[in-house]
Amino acid sequence: MLSPKYHVFVCTSCRINGTQKGFCHSKGSVDLVQRFMEEIDDKDLTSDVMVTNTGCFGICDKGPVVVIYPEGTWYGNVTEDDVETIVEKHLAEGEKVKELLI
């Protein structure tokens, strides 16, 4: 995949030394990364979407935080149940999920 249509960044509270701890991590954000990958695969979007875990975005009270580029759309308080909706609406149909926007 040289140039994905979308790049999904999920805060997993990864620190510079490689450890993962923090608010988003404690709320299951690592599981969100896995769910995104599964849903993207299920919807046959693997050639269009890249998923990357990140360090802290600095707005922990909104976590887990997911940011989607190229638009720069920020989603907050994302749960595993929200992943299917984000993949279907935003990544497959190009429509933002308004109730999750930060």
The CATH code of the domain at 6-100 is 3.40.30.10
pLDDT at 21 over 80: no
pLDDT digits (tens, 9 = 90+) for 68-78: 999 999 999 99
Query: Which own/partner pairs from 60-63 qualify as long-range (CB within 8 Å, at least 24 positions apart)?
Result: 60/22, 60/23, 60/24, 61/23, 62/102, 63/11, 63/23, 63/24, 63/27, 63/29
Query: Which pLDDT score, from 0 to 100, does residue 15 have?
Result: 62
pTM: 0.90
Residue 57 confidence (pLDDT): 87
Confidence of residue 28 (pLDDT cuts 50, 70, 90): confident
Task: Summarize pLDDT for 45-102 with one digit per residue, the tens.
Answer: 999 999 999 988 888 899 899 999 999 999 999 999 999 999 999 999 999 999 999 9
pLDDT of residue 17: 65
